Amino acid sequence: MMGGYMGKILRVDLTTGTLKVEPILEEIAKKYLGGKGYAVYMLYHYLKEYESKGISPAEINPLGPENVLIFATGPGTGIVGFPSSGRYHVMALRSPLTGSIGSANSGGEWGAFLKFSGFDAVVIEGKSEDPVYLAIINGEAELRNASDLWGKNVFDTCRILTKKIGGKNTSVACIGPAGENLVHMACIVNDEHRGAGRTGLGAVMGSKKLKAIVVSGEQKVPVADPEKFSKVSKRCLDVMRKNAVTGEGLPTYGTSILINVINAVGGLPYKNWQTGVNPHAKEISGETLAEKYLINRRACWGCTIGCGRVTSVKSGPFQILYTEGPEYESIWALGSSTGVRDLDAIVKANHYCDEFGLDPISMGSTIAAAMELNEKGYIPKDDLQGLDLRFGNATALVEAVWRTAYKAGFGKYLALGSKKLCGIYGHPELSMSVKGLEMPAYDPRAIKGIGLNYATANRGGCHVTGYTVSPEVLGIPEKIDPLTPKGKALWTKTFQDFTCVVNSTVNCLFVTFALGVKDYAELLSAVTGWKLTENDILKIGERIYNLERVILNKYGFDGKDDTLPKRLLEEPMPEGPAKGHVVELKEMIEEYYKLRGWINGVPTAEKLKELEIEL
Amino acid sequence: MSKVFVKVMLFATLMKKYKTEELIVECDGTLKGLIKNVAKILGEEFFNDIYDKGYDNIRKDIIFLINGRSIKDLKEEVKLKDNDVISIFPPLAGG
């Protein structure tokens, strides 16, 4: 067996109910690593196969049986001592929210336990007539009837299946009512509160009538050079422990600590991005969350950081005895973007997102867009059916999440996501999204580089694809000025390529606050037995990014879609440290395309040849 | 140097450590003058939270903003004015 791999892919055809085991191919693993990379490679080949059968990419229905869902781990996942390696990556051939490639990443334990169950990846094709769940237990896999689980929320589904399967190292990834109801922002949740959140993968799973995948097992992940790995691992974990962010900042406060600092630089979008300064940021900050709601920390499998928050709302109409989060993004989307100041309500709305299986970023941003539409008088009263969507209305926020999950009343419009919603009411410019995916919590008028990343991220308006906020605001690995567009192209490209490697390894992006490309090269070399240099690592990342871009191009996405909402390009920031600024996207993108070797958002033949991508 | 009054705001573990969210501080308009006066209120330990050993350079790992602009991005020497807001964050991150 290759170091780092269990060597097996489970391919499931839900239409015929057949399961096949296929090998991980070493020559593909060497080029695409695993996780996201291997999944992108497989998805590209599905597109090719469909084209050879006369099915064009445009004809692929994201909620049809021809869509494909891939759950993948990488060579680092599930190895004791490989930093924060409990994660997995999910991809879909097509996202119902964006019409482009679907992609999301999640923590918890499921990724590690998939490896222990004997597999590196699971590929889901077709569609089942009746609800089923997939059980993968110590090397054996089976589809089982899920009729008695269909309709259940995420928490109940996880608990029932964990108890039913029993055993050691058991984890459940499932959908809730939102996925079953094909809500375009539905997500996949594992271990009750960890989400593969973005691009509507929960709806894809729901369309296939696949309720859950349970993994369980005690198999061990092989390591090619255990002695070398032990040395490298010790060094890396020591660096992480001593690092002020991974060793103290993140463990103490979790991600919500960003609210005050992003607001202080004038980049915390407020009321659907009308401004980047939230006068009530303190009330929904990480400091307030820690003071009034925090009951414990929680770590994912194998993680020494432990940024997870366990919280409760002690009393009142939004009382919750136990929940996890909310993260920075969730507080921003459900709170700042909607103008809601009541942290009780925000925690409750986030809890609903876990319970029903919804992406809090897209959910919050879609509600915010609806609030602006409504305040401007663009939504007929009858459509709202009593949902009082105005900025700051905490009760309406919580109600809106519930209604979306069940497509009840106005929820059936919210369920489409902000782009389609705003289109229906004649004001597409009020959807703060890129390629149909709602942008996360940083106003690029105040942090220019993240604007370039939003515009060029393959899955749409995404921050983690190339998190330039790190150098621009946090000063990691070094400080660059957020208010200049200069030099941002190289940072964006480098971060995007490196993040592909992280998502293919698969381990946690937060590790990169302390460790760099060199560390990944050493860790992966020791695990796989391959001699990987820093250049090799970045080339693998660039290869994955470009092949994913080729898939985008096949769906008709190119330079015209590498853009930002008009508000960010033309409406100057009205206040704060970034007052008067817009995003100088044109100059950043020109430089970016040059560095990428793309013309109008399309990789050139030379670039593909250089990266050894065979189309 | 003329006297100015500025607001200093502390966040996260700094706020927790000094049990202080904000202070109005009088100073001579220089950075060192400001930190000196804050340290008089909060304690000498504050110097170590802000400066590297030797007290010449602001620590690389903290976030030090003047009216929302990082001190590391400002090209000119710092001259504080009345009502300036100084926001100080310990090393932190998220996503």
A266 with B90: Cβ contact below 8 A: no
Is B59 inside any structural domain?
Answer: yes
- Mode of pairing for the β-strands spanning A121-125 and A8-13: parallel
Cβ count near B34 (within 10 Å): 23
Q: What is the largest CA-CA distance in chain A?
A: 68
Show the tokens assigned to A353: 């997102």
Q: How far apart, in whole angstroms, are the C-alpha atoms of residue B74 and residue B76?
A: 6
Determine the Cα–Cα distance for residues A554 and A51; give it in Å rounded to an integer: 11
Segments in A333-468 forming alpha helices (H): 343-356, 360-375, 381-384, 394-405, 411-414, 418-424, 448-456
How many Å apart are CA A60 and CA A92, to the nearest integer? 11
Name the phi and psi angles at A299, rounded to 5: -110, 150
Asked if residue B95 is part of any domain, the answer here is no
Judge whether B25 lies within some domain: yes
CATH topology of domain A254-438: 1.10.569
* A443 in contact with B, Cβ within 8 Å: no
Q: Kindly state whether residue B29 falls inside one of the protein's structural domains.
A: yes
Q: What is the distance between the alpha carbons of residues A257 and A285, in angstroms, rounded to a whole number?
A: 7
Q: Which two tokens stand for residue A570?
A: 């033309």
Which tens digits make up the pLDDT trace of A301-331? 999 999 999 999 999 999 999 999 999 999 9
Q: State how far the Cα of B90 lies from the Cα of A606, in Å rounded to an integer.
A: 46
Please report the pLDDT score of residue B1 as a whole number. 62
Q: Is the dihedral of CA A86, A37, A2, A14 positive or negative?
A: positive
Average pLDDT over residues A430-444: 98
HEC string for A253-303: HCHHHHHHHHHHCCCCCECCCCECCCCCHHHHCHHHHHHHCEEEEECCCCC
Instruction: Please tell me whether residue A569 adopts helix, strand or coil conformation.
Output: helix
Instruction: Write the DSSP symbol of residue A145.
Output: E
Options 2.60.40.10, 1.10.599.10, 3.30.420.40, 3.40.1500.10; which CATH number does A448-610 get? Answer: 1.10.599.10
| Distance of residue B59 Cα from the nearest chain A Cα, in angstroms | 11
Domain hosting B82: range is: 4-89
Closest CA to B50 of B7, B6, B90: B90
Query: CB-based contact (8 Å) between A254 and chain B?
Result: yes
Query: In angstroms, what separates the C-alpha of A203 from chain B's closest C-alpha?
Result: 24
Q: In whole angstroms, what is the distance from residue A183 CA to residue A178 CA? A: 5
Q: What residues 458-487 of chain A have any CB closer than 8 A to a CB of chain B?
A: 463-464, 467, 470, 473-476, 479-483
In three-state form (DSSP H/G/I as H, E/B as E, the rest C), the secondary structure along B4-29 is EEEEEEECHHHHHHHCCCEEEEEECC
Could you tell me which residues come within 8 angstroms of residue B88 by beta carbon, excluding any fewer than 6 positions away?
B8, B9, B10, B11, B14, B49, B50, B62, B63, B64, B65
**Residue A457 sits at the chain B interface (C-beta within 8 Å):** no
Total number of residues shown for chain B: 95
Partner-chain contact A244 B61, CB within 8 Å: yes
Residues in chain B whose Cβ is within 8 Å of chain A: 11-13, 15, 60-61, 63, 65, 67-70, 72-73, 87, 89-95
Cβ-Cβ contacts under 8 Å for A398 (sequence gap 6 or more): A318, A345, A348, A349, A352
**Which structure tokens are listed for A565?**
């909402």
Q: Specify the pairing of strand A88-92 against strand A102-106.
A: antiparallel
Supply the pLDDT for residue A82.
98
Rounded to whole angstroms, the Cα distance separating A516 from A503 reads 14
Q: For residue A107, what are the CA distances in angstroms to A117, A186, A355, B20?
A: 17, 17, 17, 35
Of A245, A329, A576, which has the smallest distance from its Cβ to B92's Cβ?
A245
Handedness of CA B86, B88, B93, B95 (dihedral sign): negative
**Facing residue for A264 by CB, picked from B72, B87, B91:** B87
Mean pLDDT in residue range A385-390: 97
Which residues of chain A make contact with B93, given a CB cutoff of 8 A? 245, 249-250, 255, 258, 470, 474, 476, 510, 513
What values do phi and psi take at A229, rounded to 5? -60, -40
Contact B85, B6 (CB under 8 A): yes
Nearest to B65 among A257, A265, A509 (CB): A265
Query: Chain B: residue nearest A468 by CA?
Result: B95
Instruction: Give chain B positions within 8 Å (CB) of A464.
Output: 95
**For residue B56, what pLDDT is reported?**
82
Instruction: Give CA–CA dist A84/A202, Å, rounded.
Output: 25
| B17 within domain boundaries | yes
Interface contact flag, A328 B94, Cβ < 8 Å: yes
State how far the Cα of A312 lies from the Cα of A333, in Å rounded to an integer. Answer: 19
Judge: A476–B94 Cβ closer than 8 Å, yes or no.
no
* A220, A225, A227, A232 alpha-carbon torsion, rounded to 10°: -100
Query: Could you state, in order of their start, the residue ranges of all structural domains in chain A?
Result: 8-216, 254-438, 448-610
Confirm if A365 and A97 have CB atoms less than 8 A apart: no
Pairing of strands A170-174, A188-190: antiparallel
At residue A494, does pLDDT exceed 80? yes
Amino acid in the structure at residue A140: E
The dihedral sign for the CA sequence A258, A260, A265, A266:
positive
Distance CA B54, CA A157 (A): 58
- Contact yes or no for B91 and A244 at CB 8 A: yes
Query: What is d(CA A286, CA A265) in angstroms, rounded to the nearest whole number?
Result: 16
Peptide bond into A226 cis (omega under 30): no
CB contact under 8 A, A253 and B12: yes
Going by C-alpha positions, the residue among A551, A28, A16, A13 that lies closest to residue A5 is: A28
Q: What average pLDDT does this structure show over A566-575? A: 98
The single residue listed with the structure tokens 């918890």 is A108
Give the list of residues 6+ apart from residue A609 with CB closer than 8 angstroms, or none: none
Q: Is A329 on the interface with B (CB under 8 A)?
A: yes
Tell me: the pLDDT tens digits for A529-546?
Answer: 999 999 999 999 999 999
The answer to whether residue B24 sits within a structural domain is yes
Chain A positions touching B69 (Cβ under 8 A) are 265, 483, 577
Check CB contact under 8 Å for A249 and B65: no
pLDDT of residue A418: 98
Which residues in chain B have their CB less than 8 angstroms from residue A328's CB? 94-95
Test B11 with A260 for CB contact under 8 angstroms.
yes
Would the CB atoms of A253 and B13 count as touching at under 8 Å? yes
Q: Average pLDDT, whole number, for chain A?
A: 97
Distance from CA of B85 to the nearest CA of A (A): 10
Contact criterion met (CB below 8 Å) for A149 and A131? yes
Does the distance separating the beta carbons of B72 and A470 come in below 8 Å? no
- Please choose, from the candidates A291, A429, A402, the residue with its C-alpha nearest in 3D space to the C-alpha of residue A348: A402
Among B15, B60, B87, the residue with its CB nearest the CB of A475 is B60
Low-confidence ranges of chain B (pLDDT < 70): 1
- Using alpha carbons only, give the angle A169, A151, A59 rounded to the nearest 5 degrees: 90
**Is residue A335's pLDDT more than 80?**
yes
Q: What percent of chain A has pLDDT over 70?
A: 100
CA–CA min distance B6, chain A (Å): 16
Per-residue model confidence as pLDDT tens digits over A60-89: 999 999 999 999 999 999 999 999 999 999
Q: Enter the tokens of residue A220.
A: 């061990």
Whether B94 is in a domain gets the answer no
- Omega of the bond prior to A444 within 30 degrees of 0, cis? no
Residue with tokens 């008009």: A566
A168-220 pLDDT, tens digit per residue, is 899 999 999 999 999 999 999 999 999 999 999 999 999 999 999 999 999 99
Number of domains, chain B: 1
CATH of residue B33's domain is 3.10.20.30
SS3 A80: coil
Residue-wise pLDDT for A103-158, tens only, equals: 999 999 999 999 999 999 999 999 999 999 999 999 999 999 999 999 999 999 99
Q: Are A508 and A300 in contact (CB under 8 A)?
A: yes
Other residues' Cβ atoms within 10 Å of the Cβ of residue A219: 15
Residue of A nearest to B75 (CA): A481
Range in A134-148, A555-569, A584-598, B47-61 with the lowest mean pLDDT: B47-61
Find, in chain B, the residue whose alpha carbon is nearest to that of A467.
B95
Q: For the domain covering A8-216, report its CATH number.
A: 3.60.9.10
E-state strands within B1-95? 4-10, 22-27, 63-66, 69-70, 85-89
Shortest distance between the Cα of B5 and any Cα of chain A, in A, equals: 19
- Whether B34 is in a domain gets the answer yes
